[in-house]
Amino acid sequence: DELTVERDGVDGSQITLYGEGWDFGEVADNARFTQAIQGQLDGTSIATFNDRLRDGARGGGPFDDDPRTDLGFASGGEDANDLDLVQIGLAGNLRDFELRSQESGVVVTGEEIDYNGSPAGYASHPDEVVNYVDAHDNETLFDILTFKLPMDMPMADRVRMNSLALSTTALSQSVSFWHAGSDLLRSKSLDRDSYDSGDWFNLLDWTMTDNGFGRGLPPEDKNGDKWDIMQPLLADPALKPGGQDIEQAHAMALDLLRLRHSTPLFRLGDPDLIREKLSFPVSGTELGGEQVIVMHIDDTVDEDVDDALEHVVVVFNASGEELAQQVPGLEGVELELSAIQAQGADEVVKGSSWDAASATANVPARTVAVFVAPQGDEVPEPSPTPTPSPTPTVSPSPSPEPTPTVKPTDRPRPGPPPTGN
């Protein structure tokens, strides 16, 4: 924080220090020294990757034998533990944040939510967490969704699921991290470790013409054991998005960034304010389900953070059906769809509505809708910077324990724009 633009060329207060933070290898469990790992960085403002939200949203783990089998919140799953992992991630992955668990139906803290035998919530401050759904290691978001979503799902719905997954980081209280090209449906042709795969598989096409899918079977060394699963997927032309699909995904992703920056309520930055203002009012109740998250940020509680808004209600509808979701405690509160979405790139989300008398949000399938209650008569403008399902039963099935991939930290360089190959 002592670095200044005038003296050092950078504003140190705006720099985020982060690392993977895995506990593994010969130094595991602090065998040789106290490690800079998840849960041991209290007060340092150094962040670690949050694999809890990653696995809750994607489903399973990065080293599953068959990536098609374990679905997550953003890939069509109905697992209560996965939903809890996403919820606590949205709340900054704080160890002492309290919510009613979808899995157990009782009020628990973040550290009491299970993640493969370890605490899910491990942070004391939201800046100790980097929320992500894909990164340099393992399959891209588009590729993991290709494995997990039904082969006959239309591309338009695949784009919606991509946006749904990205929203779990963009609308969270911690650092939001997107892998390069996540907004462009970037594919590495299902390669789970593209570090040595060259420019051919690491294509990043800024012209939004080619997302990189279907360029052949990825290198055998890290992928050969799954070639039989990959081959029919890579050969299916219906699974490769066109330019319009990529452009739509990009535009919807930009709307998510605009939403994040439209109000400081998505970036409270203080664990006390998160605990006081943020809640998940239907989680673990008869109104909830494994394919819906309702997040309420109440700016009428404690200090006034946003002088333009009193309430923000986000409904994440991961199901394939339109949802009529009652939100207890908001009867009589007038909410409206955020102007960013009402004037945005996604025509589907514009069909969302709010009934104040019954406190019910109507949200289309595979859609994230952000409703706001302006203070007084003031209606917030879009930021110039930077869419009734049955209640499923609770059937938890914890995800397998992920283990990190050890490799140099250099990133592969993306290839040049396509030349017609």
Q: How large is the average pLDDT for residues 367-379?
A: 84
The pLDDT of residue 376 is 77
Percent over 70 (pLDDT), the chain: 89
The pLDDT tens digits of the residues spanning 10-59 come to 999 889 899 999 998 899 999 999 999 999 999 999 999 999 999 999 99
Q: Which residue has the higher pLDDT, 247 or 416?
A: 247
- Answering whether pTM is above 0.85, one says yes
| Any domain includes 185 | yes
| Any domain includes 11 | yes
Band of pLDDT at residue 410, cut at 50, 70 and 90? very low
Q: How large is the average pLDDT for residues 348-359?
A: 99
The pLDDT tens digits of the residues spanning 102-123 come to 999 999 999 999 999 999 999 9
| Any domain includes 294 | no
The pLDDT of residue 1 is 81
| Residues contacting residue 335 through CB under 8 Å, at least 6 positions apart | 311, 313, 354, 356, 361, 371, 372, 373
The pLDDT of residue 411 is 33
Domain extent, residue 77, equals: 5-257
| Any domain includes 340 | no
Band of pLDDT at residue 394, cut at 50, 70 and 90? very low
Residue 230 sits in a domain whose CATH number is 3.20.20.80
| Any domain includes 384 | no
The pLDDT of residue 105 is 98
**CB of 207 within 8 A of CB of 420?**
no
Band of pLDDT at residue 401, cut at 50, 70 and 90? very low
| Any domain includes 177 | yes
| Any domain includes 127 | yes
What torsion do the CA atoms of 405, 411, 415, 416 make, to the nearest 10 degrees? Answer: 160
The pLDDT of residue 342 is 99
Among 419, 409, 410, smallest CA distance to 203 is for 419
The pLDDT tens digits of the residues spanning 155-175 come to 999 999 999 999 999 999 999
Domain count for the chain:
1
The pLDDT of residue 6 is 96
| Any domain includes 216 | yes
